[in-house]
Structure 1
Amino acid sequence: LRIIASSRLRTIHHNLEAALTATGVNDVSGQTNASAAKASAKSRFESTKQRFFNHLLMGMKARTVIRAIENDLAEGFACVIQVVSTGESLLKRRLEAMDPEDELVEGALTPRDYVLSYLEQAFPIHAQKLVEIDGNVVAEPLRDANGALVVSREALALRDAAMMELMALAPIPAALDQILWAFGDEVVAEVTGRSVRPLKSSDGALFIEKRSASSNSAETRAFMDGEKDILIFSDAGGTGRSYHAAQTAKNQKRRRHYLLEPGWRADAAIQGLGRTHRSAQVSAPFFRVCTSDVHGEKRFTSTIARRLDQLGALTKGQRETGSQGMFREEDNLESPIARGALRGYYADLAAGRAGAMSYEQFTDWTALRLIDQDGVLLEELPPIQRFLNRVLALPIHMQNALFAEFMTRIADQTERARAAGTLDLGVETLRGEKIEQVSGEDLWTCPRSGAVTRIIGLEVTDPVHVLPAEEALDRNPDKLPMINRASGRAALISSRPMQMYDEEIVTLMRKVTRPSGSNYVEEGRFANSAWEEIKPPEFLRLWDEEADSLPKTTTTKLYLLTGLLLPIWKDIPSGNERIYRVTPEGRGSMIGRTVSEDGAAALRARFMVGTPKTSQDMLTAALGSTAPVDLGRGLTLTRRRVAGAARLEIDGADKGAIEGLKAVGCFTEIIAFQLRVFVPHGEGVDTVAILARIVGEGSPTAAERAA
């Protein structure tokens, strides 16, 4: 049914584009003559489609929820189901259109009526004519001699064809009605805003029951008194009522709270969850978030996850408190990381590097354009909300294939951000097999308040978890087993590069997974490297040999800044802005911001030692902070991220100085049409010696000359 519905919506997409051309809203090349008319038709369709699939998914999940409720009732639980949509507007429209003598049937109460209403009322069938206004050619509705709008026969035929296809869809009633019909209104208490509802008689015939304003109070009382063991509530029933296992209630069975439909409002979702979780309760509820294996449903969970994060940040100062642990960071598909991953995925789709489908298939099914007539990626690409809406209408196998690739990119970008320390996760708990405090000293004292900033040295010991070679292969089907002939080590490397956006710089990258961890390599460096593909038996042997040689535990030294941080926040190295809660062995709990050993050395140099004077001090200060370090002669050294890697860049060099810097070991690159100078840094490079040649050990710096 889901595949058939997707096919019907695809037909409407194509017919809509054809109708826009037939009516004159678009010209034959696809350019619009009436942007307002086109935007109205498309926006109405997208919102209608969204409501249609939301109701369809809720209805399709109802059968599984009903089976789960049956099991809960048999085990002695009381069930509470939280929804947003009641389908009352759909029911009322159907009743108004029906002849009083007609019999109401299940097929008349389905979400396809939303799309049918759109086709009848908003599908573009009226012809347009081109007129010139203030030198601009625009389209306006064409009228006949009597002033009536002229209907395009071609557009009308397209609309009728779409309606005929949609009418062939099998009916799926609303989830609320399905649950009521399955258990009966004598078992189910309904606390919603509906004034009428369809019920089933003993012979299976549908009839309409009117609900009074006092129905919700009576239904709540029946549930709390144990007369009914199931309660369904909507937004109208999520305010001012309690459904928990109260000590004063007759119904003290443990609640099973089903979040069947979270809706779009985070505050209402949280308020609804609080209906079954109150003080003075006999037992806490068991929450169940109801979702499906249709990846397009992430369109709905993504928005509520983002808004729950925002609500948590506003109400408790921590984003993760808003979602109560029910949604993960990855569920928020509207984050900056997700937007960057989507832009990279668009580029891969347009270039034919995506494995899920070709660019032609993507545009055919989603009607989204990513490139212009010259084959260049558009500057204004479809936003993530539009992408999610269009993917929602794809057949399930296409959705899952697209989302698998998209989610892989999000996971990779998240992993890179976490490794770089730029992933904002709120207050995290630092975990380890063993955490010891090895040092503690005062870094800075506020001259006004006397408050102190302390720097605490920590050693964190963790076990090393290495996947066996066969499991690593199974978990990375998109990567190739390879060997580096220079080092003799094996790794799993992405079979094709992916585009990544790092500080607005587009880079083709491949992910390299080794027994000791993962990293990323630029496509250009990979192409010129010694990596070669190998057969699985050789890979298994090399991987397991390296895995066996790794230590069983690793000890990491880091520093925690605690106490007064805001006045010196800009001076703290920005490589890692994560906030941790730490409880070292034998010590009390502390909260602070972590810095690396180099970062701690840079802070000591700034606040406890003074301006770095030697080349070693300058290197330490530069690596530990993004603040520029004075090298003298108008030159500064700054740590920056370029194409995903940390580099040391020299600023302030004129044309003459650049040649001298290259002579002592520096190198240059042209990035974004700008010549930039870098100091080599990394394994096998004596960066201190290069800096010593630049500044000359013992020569006065600009700060000393100014003093």
Structure 2
Amino acid sequence: RFQGLNSLDDITAIINTPPIGGYQVTPNQQLLIKNFKVSVKSNCLSLSVFLLFFLSYHVFTQRPQTQPVEEEEVEVEEAEELGHVDTYADYRPSKSKIGISHPDRVVETNTLSSVPPPDITYTLSIPETTINRGLLSALQLEAIIYACQQHEVILQNNQRAGFLIGDGAGVGKGRTVAGIILENNLKGRKKALWFSVSNDLKYDAERDLQDIHAQNIQVHALNKIMFPYGDTATSEGVLFATYSALIGESQAGGQHRTRLKQILDWCEPGFDGVIIFDECHKAKNATSTKMGKAVLDLQNKLPLARVVYASATGASEPKNMIYMSRLGIWGEGTPFRTFDDFLHTIEKRGVGAMEIVAMDMKVSGMYIARQLSFSGVSFRIEEISLDDDFKLVYNKAAKLWAEALVVFMQAADELCMSSRKSLWGQFWSSHQRFFKYLCIAAKVRCLVELAKKELEAGKCVVIGLQSTGEARTREVLDENDGHLDRFVSAAEGVFHSLVLKHFPSEKQRREKGAGNKRKRESCRAFVSLSIYCLSLLSASWLEEMKQGLLNKIAVLGKELPLNTLDELIDKFGGPEQVSEMTGRKGRVVRRSDGSVQYESRAEQGHTIDQINIKEKDRFMNGEKLVAIISEAASSGISLQADRRVKNQRRRVHITLELPWSADRAIQQFGRTHRSNQVTAPEYIFLISELAGERRFASIVAKRLESLGALTHGDRRATESRDLSKYNFENKYGTKALDKITKAILGQIESKVPPPNDYPGGDAMFFTDMKHGMVDVGMLCSQSRLGINIEKDCNITKFLNRILGLEVHKQNSLFQYFTDNFDYLIEKDKKEGKYDMGILDLAPGNDQIYEETQEKFLTAGNPQDGQVILYKVSFFDVFYPCFRSLRRRHKIAGKTSSLSPSGNVAMLTGEKTFQTSDLVLVKLSSEDLTCMHVSCRNGRCKRVEEGQECLMGTRLRQYHMLCGALLRVWKRVSDVVADITNSSILQIVRLKTKDSSKQVGESTR
């Protein structure tokens, strides 16, 4: 019943009227019309069916040019109510009511904002004057309160619980840490330990204490204290040390031989003061490094210490959380007996489990993570095209490396060294660094042009890179007795050094083979019968092979690009115009007369250690408008457009070289985006069109995705937007690599065709790729067995090695790989196997009702951790009916037209109908039953088994587990797996009718 529609004839007229505007009815809609007419004639048209027809007819009508895509019929999983929404929510303390608002807008991921922190039971001792004057903002005071409150908890292993501050760069972790030290000092705990990454940050620690009027708390550098100490002036206060100092040892021996022993003696027995692990991601890989083991050892030897982990990055992967032993996530009294149990469970579940970790830590009161709003910050990727001259040089280099591999293998075979891991480790690491330098050099010209435009627009430029190329520069200096009259090519140096130092030789075989009692393996068929692996070539001929390679490298070196850092400084006008903040000691510069020389970075009155701070001041004062930073400057240096400095131009942060890990990436990006800034920065990521170079973007994207999930509770939180499309280091990348490798070898017939623009067609593509993958060591050629897949063939190796292919070959191979990668993801999405992370249940629907809730207490710390089982329901007016009809009539069409995003768009977009235009109609019994009754001859397996089945109806019911999920994660997964043969539990977020937010695991 609609206004203007008085009979079924009116509806029939609408059906027979052709679409306007050049649109035409698709075959799918013709079938829909046919079925609709049947309903009209039989006088059994329901309101929902008419709505369905009207929307389908007018929304899904296509233009004449569009061809319908035929796809196989798939079983659509009932997750249509799920969808992604905005990632961040404005943050304000929910339970702490003291303090003045933070000076800048701060946000929290929607996921973390959906779970509440525990109630506050701790009473703060910080003076009201400090609070009222805003020396510590409300956000910082909240973190101090929760940290001190968590320190009141004693874990079941009799160690005091710790706290993790995961605030992003610029929120003010330093001042928060200073506040925790002040609070404990006021409680009578006069000693504290503060560990950081650099001795220079001691001055930042002193500044943070002074900023909150706690200058009476002295900061003592560990390397300045004489042991055994007897000076009362250093017996209290903060002992500041670097992580590297933890593993320091004295050659003198004695009672205080190790720094760790000195620290323990300074703390004295029964120490219950604060230990700050600032930038704690530096202590990652605790089981594999001396530094990490020392961090764990210190915590074990001071069981009552109040531990605070502070870092914007926390841990980039779950395995790097091992040093956070005081969080009480694993160990006695928890669901995970050991860290390995915890790691296995989390890695098995994937990113979804990491999201649960962050939420569980916040609910338990051991974690807080806020960050500056990115409003005003722009991100973009600039893909750089290569000119023909550069491609020519690159292709020459690729061919020479392929030739070098053959020569190395011949020499190694003759000397029976072909199985030496150290030899090939050196070869392939040099191979990777060589092409990495070429990738970076390809972007220099574009970067300079881009930067100069930004400078002309009144902005200033910060350039981030990792490699300085200093090692090769110093080698050339040594070769020329300390003199240098030209810019050096870092790429040439890597290649030259490999051949010079690691080319197989008889001397090398004798030195490395001494004492090796293992049975020698035969190297090739033609030497397998040789008992002693005698060389068939003379030592002089081996030397001739080596010299031939060196000569070819020297010829190629004349065309290779120069050291990127030196070239950039030169193109921007020299050191007088550029603030360099790197770890290198010297540089090559152009003098006023045009000549080139090597000079030290040290200046009169300033040591190398102090020069980075001096250069930072020059940039912030506006003396220099271009800054180049490396990892050495990634921690502790602020380069934002601060209101307190002279240079308030907008920062344009250009990443010339993507850092190797998210740890480093977050630190670099945080240098230019901090509190109290006049303008937010612009971020530009430069990526060349070289397919292999996306390897580095892939690493960062993977780390950022993992980091966002673990450190901020939402995997989308620290994705650098565009970079997420380069994330190949996952199970889909591994499967795609396996498929393309087998397809290239002709072992399988791929469902994904190779690039259609490859010269010579498909046959030539597979032939070239087979030879190319042999050239880069991904396939091995054996005289008897032919070409086979190299052992340890993995996605990391693949993305490294394809750097060594010629430009057009690597681009085509990479395209073939990504096509397979995308195909596998789409396939899993259709089959309901794709892990979507945290999704929103019924986004845009504000009529979600909470029907029941059951509360359960869980084991763990704190003891009163709760898991709540909710039953929620809502009505979905349109979509189930359409899906049901689609299946009943087997309407063929693109499944993507029924995707969650399409559903959300229709539900939340413009309203086609007004409620006032509708009246109630009588529904048939069929409309009230599940779709199985209609499409399976009136039989529904679930109903026959005595269960409720709502599939295909408008009523949606879900059960959600919320609260301390980490503690019951494994048990719930096991139970669900037993019942459903799948352990996948979708993590969802919803907002009920009474505006309460929930995040949890969902099941129908």
**TM-score (norm. length: structure 2):** 0.45
Cα offsets for 1:180-224 (capped at 9, x unmatched): 011122221111122211111234321222112232222111110
Q: 2:555 aligns with which of 161, 168, 183?
A: 168
CA distance in 1, matches of 2:774, 2:805: 11
The residue number in structure 2 matching 1:15 is 407
Which one-letter code corresponds to 2:626 in the other structure? I
CA distance in 1, matches of 2:638, 2:878: 45
Change (3 A) 1:120 1:374: closer
Q: 1:254 aligns with which of 643, 650, 667?
A: 650
Which of the two has greater strand per residue? 1
**TM-score (norm. length: structure 1):** 0.63
CA distance in 1, matches of 2:988, 2:661: 30
Change (3 A) 1:16 1:377: closer
Which structure 1 residue ranges, 4+ long, deviate > 6 Å from structure 2? Answer: 127-135, 447-450, 460-464, 487-491
Q: 1:579 aligns with which of 987, 993, 1003?
A: 987
Cα offsets for 1:77-126 (capped at 9, x unmatched): 111111111111111111111156x65123x3331111101101101132
Change (3 A) 1:451 1:74: same
The residue number in structure 2 matching 1:125 is 505
**Is 1:87 paired with 2:478?**
no
Shift of 1:319: 3.7
Q: 1:454 aligns with which of 862, 870, 874?
A: 870
Change (3 A) 1:577 1:419: farther
Q: 1:201 aligns with which of 577, 581, 591?
A: 591
Change (3 A) 1:162 1:515: same
Change (3 A) 1:15 1:516: same
Change (3 A) 1:238 1:591: same
Q: 2:807 aligns with which of 383, 396, 405?
A: 396
The range that moved more, 565-574 or 295-304, is: 565-574
CA distance in 2, matches of 1:205, 1:265: 38
Cα offsets for 1:235-278 (capped at 9, x unmatched): 11222211000010110111111122233232122111111111
Q: 1:350 aligns with which of 711, 721, 745?
A: 745
Shift of 1:306: 2.5
Tell me if structure 2 keeps the 8 A contact 1:226–1:251. yes
Cα offsets for 1:548-567 (capped at 9, x unmatched): xxxxxx99957362535664
SS in 1 for 2:439: helix
Within 5 Å, give how 1:204-603 maps onto structure 2. 204-212=594-602, 213=608, 214-325=610-721, 327-328=723-724, 330-351=725-746, 353=749, 355=754, 356-358=765-767, 360-369=770-779, 373=784, 380-429=791-840, 434-435=844-845, 437=847, 439-442=849-852, 444-446=854-856, 452-458=868-874, 516=897, 559=958, 561-564=960-963, 567=968, 569-570=972-973, 571-572=975-976, 574=982, 576-583=984-991, 587-595=995-1003, 600=1004
SS in 2 for 1:226: coil
**Is 1:104 paired with 2:485?**
yes
Change (3 A) 1:186 1:379: closer
Tell which has more relative contact order, 1 or 2 (C-alpha 8 A, sep 6+): 2
Cα offsets for 1:532-587 (capped at 9, x unmatched): xxxxxxxxxxxxxxxxxxxxxx9995736253566473344547533233347884
Within 5 Å, give how 1:43-192 maps onto structure 2. 43-99=425-481, 104-106=485-487, 108-126=488-506, 136-137=519-520, 152-169=539-556, 170-184=559-573, 185-192=575-582
SS in 1 for 2:845: strand
CA distance in 1, matches of 2:450, 2:962: 50
CA distance in 2, matches of 1:63, 1:97: 30
Tell me if structure 1 keeps the 8 A contact 2:778–2:790. no
CA distance in 1, matches of 2:456, 2:810: 36
Cα offsets for 1:349-375 (capped at 9, x unmatched): 221657343364244432333698557
Change (3 A) 1:409 1:153: same
Change (3 A) 1:160 1:302: same
Shift of 1:393: 0.4
Which one-letter code corresponds to 1:454 in the other structure? Y
SS in 1 for 2:670: helix
Tell me if structure 2 keeps the 8 A contact 1:337–1:413. yes
Shift of 1:517: 7.3
Shift of 1:590: 3.3
Which one-letter code corresponds to 2:654 in the other structure? Y
SS in 2 for 1:424: coil
Which one-letter code corresponds to 2:656 in the other structure? L
Tell me if structure 1 keeps the 8 A contact 2:484–2:598. no
Change (3 A) 1:136 1:111: closer
Which one-letter code corresponds to 2:560 in the other structure? P
Change (3 A) 1:223 1:425: farther
Shift of 1:387: 1.8
Tell me if structure 2 keeps the 8 A contact 1:55–1:111. yes
Tell me if structure 1 keeps the 8 A contact 2:486–2:597. no
Tell me if structure 2 keeps the 8 A contact 1:125–1:151. no
Tell me if structure 2 keeps the 8 A contact 1:201–1:207. yes
Tell me if structure 2 keeps the 8 A contact 1:558–1:594. no
How large is the RMSD of aligned CA atoms in angstroms?
Answer: 3.6
CA distance in 1, matches of 2:585, 2:516: 50
Which one-letter code corresponds to 1:338 in the other structure? G
CA distance in 2, matches of 1:233, 1:402: 34
Cα offsets for 1:296-349 (capped at 9, x unmatched): 012222223333334334433444434454631x42322122112212222212
The range that moved more, 401-410 or 194-203, is: 194-203
Tell me if structure 1 keeps the 8 A contact 2:641–2:651. yes
The range that moved more, 197-206 or 451-460, is: 451-460
Tell me if structure 1 keeps the 8 A contact 2:708–2:715. yes
SS in 2 for 1:164: helix
Which one-letter code corresponds to 1:187 in the other structure? Q
CA distance in 2, matches of 1:276, 1:131: 53
Tell me if structure 2 keeps the 8 A contact 1:199–1:207. yes
CA distance in 1, matches of 2:519, 2:857: 66
Change (3 A) 1:438 1:339: same
SS in 2 for 1:279: coil
Tell me if structure 1 keeps the 8 A contact 2:849–2:993. no
Cα offsets for 1:503-528 (capped at 9, x unmatched): xxxxxxxxxx677579xxxxxxxxxx
Tell me if structure 2 keeps the 8 A contact 1:435–1:461. no
CA distance in 1, matches of 2:694, 2:571: 28
Tell me if structure 1 keeps the 8 A contact 2:499–2:550. yes
Aligned residues: 495
CA distance in 1, matches of 2:678, 2:427: 48
Change (3 A) 1:394 1:249: same
CA distance in 2, matches of 1:387, 1:218: 42
CA distance in 1, matches of 2:563, 2:842: 46
Tell me if structure 2 keeps the 8 A contact 1:289–1:326. no
